[in-house]
Amino acid sequence: MALAAAQARPLDVGVVISRQTFLLILWGAKWPPIREIAVRDDLLDAQASVDWVASHLPSLQRRIDSWLDANLIVEIEEVELAGPENAIVGVEKEPFPLSFNVEVGAYINAIRSGLDILATALAIRHQVAKARDVQFPVAKSLADYEAGKYKGARFVERLPATERGIIESLRPYRGGNDQLWALHHLDILRKHRRLLEVFINPAVVQIFDEFGQLKIKGVYSGSMGGNSKTILAYFPKGAPKPKIDFTGNVAIDEPPIGGRATNLVMLLDGFVTLASSIIRLFDK
């Protein structure tokens, strides 16, 4: 719906809970999460690729929080055509920096590359394949995996039974290991489109009247993707100015990988944990 911006006025805004506080709770009050992983020499390069990402996640979260706090606000705007209600609008004062997309893409690639470096280390350890055949396997389906229709199939087939069994136990295919598939899929997707969007999560938009009563009406999806503003709800014209509590979020809106309510840094940290756990399976 078209909006008349001339009448826009900022609202009093309060944050329900800070994003960093939320992460502190989830991480057991340890910020940043501490990892002390020692592996055998031929796995050091693979682990270093993953650890590099882990070391940058706290800074990424702080910079995202800073941008959201400085650039995401809520306003009331009069709707064109006379009607009983005005629109409550989420406003992005400045476009979300493209550098964040580049940075997050590099982190996803580094984690996925860590698994390919692991595969190369195993190929050298067991002298089983040429470099061009080596890739950590992730197949599109169980059927493709069982038929050997995936990159790295020759490498896997030539591994000793123990190592091959470890890889098979990971169920490295879509529908088998959703987190591994998500990492693999995002590493491909990042080359073709932007991954990140800014959201005001409707689940945490709260509107209070002058008596402190919670009054929510018509709260809509809060995606800011590609727009400088988005309608969140409607409020009666002439009513006292409400107080609105909300939280912003930067997420990868690619179901079922994450979704708009999924914290980006938590998602990346999950990929780091996954890759590290896979590397340690071969630390023998």
User: What local confidence, expressed as pLDDT, does residue 12 receive?
Assistant: 37
Between CA 197 and CA 140 the distance in angstroms is: 26
CA 118 from centre of chain: 24
At 86, the pLDDT band (50, 70, 90 cuts) reads: confident
Looking at residue 144, its amino acid is D
Cis peptide before 97 (omega within 30 of 0): no
User: What six digits make up the tokens of 87?
Assistant: 């629109």
181-238 residue pLDDT tens: 999 999 999 999 989 888 775 544 556 555 555 555 545 555 555 556 777 777 777 7
At 178, the pLDDT band (50, 70, 90 cuts) reads: very high
Task: Name which residue leads in pLDDT, 140 or 229.
Answer: 140
Of 283, 277, 265, 279, nearest in space to 54 by CA: 265
| 261 SS3 class | coil
User: What local confidence, expressed as pLDDT, does residue 82 receive?
Assistant: 53
Between CA 281 and CA 81 the distance in angstroms is: 64
Between CA 44 and CA 122 the distance in angstroms is: 12
User: What six digits make up the tokens of 278?
Assistant: 């896979």
Q: Say whether pLDDT at 248 is over 70.
A: yes
Between CA 280 and CA 50 the distance in angstroms is: 12
Looking at residue 39, its amino acid is V
User: What local confidence, expressed as pLDDT, does residue 84 receive?
Assistant: 76
At 13, the pLDDT band (50, 70, 90 cuts) reads: very low
Cis peptide before 240 (omega within 30 of 0): no
At 22, the pLDDT band (50, 70, 90 cuts) reads: very low
Across the range 98-126, mean pLDDT stands at: 97
At 277, the pLDDT band (50, 70, 90 cuts) reads: very high
Q: Say whether pLDDT at 148 is over 90.
A: yes
Of 159, 109, 156, 112, nearest in space to 137 by CA: 156
Task: Name which residue leads in pLDDT, 119 or 243.
Answer: 119
Across the range 53-72, mean pLDDT stands at: 94
Q: Say whether pLDDT at 10 is over 50.
A: no
Of 100, 98, 80, nearest in space to 231 by CA: 80
Burial class of 88 by CB neighbour count within 10 A (0 to 12, 13 to 18, 19+)? buried
User: What local confidence, expressed as pLDDT, does residue 6 receive?
Assistant: 32
Between CA 203 and CA 219 the distance in angstroms is: 9
Say what percent of the chain tops pLDDT 70: 70
User: What local confidence, expressed as pLDDT, does residue 213 receive?
Assistant: 58
pTM: 0.78
CA 6 from centre of chain: 35
Of 211, 213, 209, 212, nearest in space to 235 by CA: 209
| 129 SS3 class | coil
User: What local confidence, expressed as pLDDT, does residue 159 receive?
Assistant: 95
Between CA 53 and CA 104 the distance in angstroms is: 9
Q: Are 46 and 62 in contact (CB under 8 A)?
A: no
Pick from 3-17, 140-154, 205-219, 265-279: least confident: 3-17
User: What local confidence, expressed as pLDDT, does residue 17 receive?
Assistant: 39
User: What six digits make up the tokens of 209?
Assistant: 């009247």
Task: Name which residue leads in pLDDT, 20 or 272.
Answer: 272
158-172 residue pLDDT tens: 999 999 999 999 999
Please compute Rg for the chain using Cα positions. 23
Annotated domain spans of the chain = 3-281
